[in-house]
Structure 1
Amino acid sequence: MAQKYRIYINEKVILLTESQPKKSSGFRQIDAAAFDLKILYTWILSHPGVFYYVLCDDAKVFLKAIKKSVPLIKAAGGLVKNEDDEFLFIFRNNKWDLPKGKIEKQEGTKEAAVREVEEECGIKVSKLDELVCKTYHSYLYKGEVVLKKTWWFNMRCRGQKNLVPQKEEGITDVRWFKKEDIGPIVENTFPSIMDVLVKEKLVVKAKN
């Protein structure tokens, strides 16, 4: 099976793929030989297109080269489910999001994921389950183009309806949602969060 990876820049996506996208008419191709994330970052933001793709022989190797070309920031977070089959979401920067944060030195991805979820939401994780997926997004940090890699884990939580948003991190709301009630989240969240929700079959998203 052909490998695919997505790098998000705000609402835009760069698809690294070993095969032509099925809906290639909606995509704009970027030449693999000329790919430079530091240059493309500004160029993509200034163009109206949303979907871009890079056709490469080995998408995993290509992504590895991108990671070496810019500073890589590592983060971890979780999709938390409680005993009432509700899922935990936070509201930050005027968007619905999932709790996550940077991995500290000498800290593992699982340890960081649990710590960040507990700090940002004021809960206690009762069980850490399997890895859902990894996402990538690029942004400016201190004037420099960086790439953030985030590990997302399934988590469980018992009780704890009294949620406490970590306001110093810009979180203004923390809330439990039933699967059938996450429509407002889908309408106002980040593409990388959609990847997590699709992976866990909370929403359906058309495949490229």
Structure 2
Amino acid sequence: MHTIFVGDKPIYLTTEVDKEKDFKVFLLKSVDLPKVIRMLNRTDLKSVYLVGKKEHKLLKNFLKKLPNVIAGGGKVYNREGKVLFIYRNNKWDLPKGKTEKKESIEETAIREVEEETKVSGLEITRPLPTTYHIFKRNGRYKIKITYWFEMKTDYDGKLKPQTNEGITKVKWLSEKKIKKAMENSYANIKLLV
């Protein structure tokens, strides 16, 4: 099963579903995806299941339904074990951004963390789960596919938010502060944290 978020509401891609309760079920092959997105945004519906026949084709078939935006990001740890967070659009988030021409997804992730926070000396330690969410830009829905990496750094300099990207704060958060921040974050970030 795969999960794609519309705001904080999930669309689940699956091959089988139990009885409907507080969700709706549609066939992946024939679903009117913009209609489903509007339904999730405008009603108290909790989630949607899109059903396909073959598990290994669910995500591939779903991603064909809307334009894709590829991004890379990082969950960065410092020497004290604190995690680097940004504050944008009144929510706590992890630094991430879109790929640029001819760069690898790892290069994207490191560049975006550096640009959004001014943290340097980043080293990727392992890949993390990929997240998917739907957003609207210029009147069109798109799917953002974010490849995440756990990173470490010895950087102890000044943090500087990339204000032209709407980032108002950059902070190293301890485990206790992360719990509090997750009360005001995105569903896909909560999954990573």
The TM-score, its normalising length taken from structure 1, stands at 0.86
Moved over 4 A (4+): none
Q: State the match for 1:84 in structure 2.
A: 80
Pair 1:157–1:123, CA change in 2 (3 A): same
Asked whether the equivalents of residues 83 and 174 of structure 2 are also in contact (C-alpha less than 8 Å), the reply is yes
In structure 2, do the counterparts of structure 1 residues 180 and 161 end up closer, same or farther at CA, with 3 Å as the change threshold? farther
1:20-52: CA deviation from partner (whole Å, max 9, x where unpaired) = 36x964433233343232332222212211222
Task: Tell me, yes or no, if structure 1 residue 115 matches structure 2 residue 98.
Answer: no
User: In structure 2, what is the equivalent of residue 127 of structure 1?
Assistant: 123
Q: How many residues align?
A: 193
**Partner Cα separation in structure 2 for residue 152 and residue 117 of structure 1:** 11
Q: Which residue of 2 aligns with 1:183?
A: 179
One-letter code aligned to 1:170: G
Give the secondary-structure state (helix, strand or coil) at the position aligned to 1:133.
coil
Which one-letter code corresponds to 1:109 in the other structure? I
Q: Percent identical across equivalent pairs?
A: 34
Counterpart residue identity of residue 15, structure 1: Y
Question: What is the distance in 2 between the residues matched to 1:31 and 1:144?
Answer: 22
Is the CA contact 1:125–1:155 (under 8 Å) kept in the aligned structure 2? Answer: no
Q: Give the AA of the match of 1:154.
A: E
Could you say if the C-alpha distance between residues 154 and 31 of structure 1 is closer, same or farther in structure 2, counting changes exceeding 3 Å?
A: same
CA 1:130–1:142: 2 relative to 1, 3 Å: same
Task: Please tell me whether residue 8 in structure 1 is matched to residue 5 in structure 2.
Answer: yes
Q: Is the counterpart of residue 97 in structure 1 residue 93 in structure 2?
A: yes
Gaps of 5+ in 2: none
Q: Note if 1:20 corresponds to 2:17.
A: yes
1:9, 1:60 → 2: CA distance?
A: 22
Q: CA deviation at 1:62?
A: 2.2
Taking structure 1 as reference, are residues 120 and 45 closer, same or farther at Cα in structure 2, changes over 3 Å only? same
The two structures, once aligned, show a CA RMSD in angstroms of 1.8
Distance 1:196 1:91 in 2: 16
Shift of 1:54: 2.1
Please report how far the alpha carbon of residue 60 of structure 1 lies from its aligned counterpart in structure 2 after TM superposition: 3.8
What is the match of residue 106 of structure 1?
102
Tell me how far apart the structure 2 counterparts of residues 39 and 27 of structure 1 sit (CA, whole Å).
15
Q: CA deviation at 1:127?
A: 1.2
Q: For residues 39 and 24 of structure 1, do their structure 2 counterparts lie closer, same or farther at Cα, with a shift above 3 Å needed?
A: closer
Q: Distance in 1 between matches of 2:20 and 2:173?
A: 35
Structure 1: runs of 5 or more not aligned = 198-208
